[in-house]
Amino acid sequence: MARDVIQIKSRIIETISPDKTVGEAVEMLAKHRIGLLVVCKNRDQLAGVLSERDVVQALGKDGPSCLEFKVDAVMTKDVITCNGAAHPHDVLTQMHERNIRHMPVVEKGKLVGIVTSRDILEHLAKNTTPDEQAMMWAKMVQM
């Protein structure tokens, strides 16, 4: 389950408020050496995500002035999420199909964690048999 992957990793979820600036978000991304911030209203209400890709697209469209924009104006609002009971293989399949590397885990409307494709691959490598891994990769190649 995705919950198992979250429990294994001990990283803190880096969040940012939608009313902060893109420049402040870029500073956080650089400081923490990460590629995505979860945008939350209050402490755990998911509003969106801001990825490196979002920032680069804003820079390409609006130039450096986008660094003064509010995160809300640049973030991805239609976020693909999973719940803690989701099977890691299903989560990885969703990530592959939608070309994303991070997926917030939400339960009862609250952000409880985030999993990355790297986290899931590590989890599957440690917790599945070689035959299960081969079947998973065969399915991924067919997509």
pTM for this model (two decimals): 0.78
Provide the phi-psi class of 7: left if phi over 0, else alpha when psi is between -120 and 50, else beta. alpha
102-107 vs 36-41, strand pairing mode: unpaired
Full domain range(s) for residue 100: 2-142
* Assigned token pair, 81: 């999420």
- 37-63: pLDDT as tens digits: 999 988 778 999 999 999 999 999 999
Domain at 138, CATH number:
3.10.580.10
- 63-105: pLDDT as tens digits: 999 999 999 999 999 999 998 888 888 888 899 899 998 899 8
Q: How many domains does the chain have?
A: 1
Sign of CA pseudo-dihedral 64, 23, 19, 58: positive
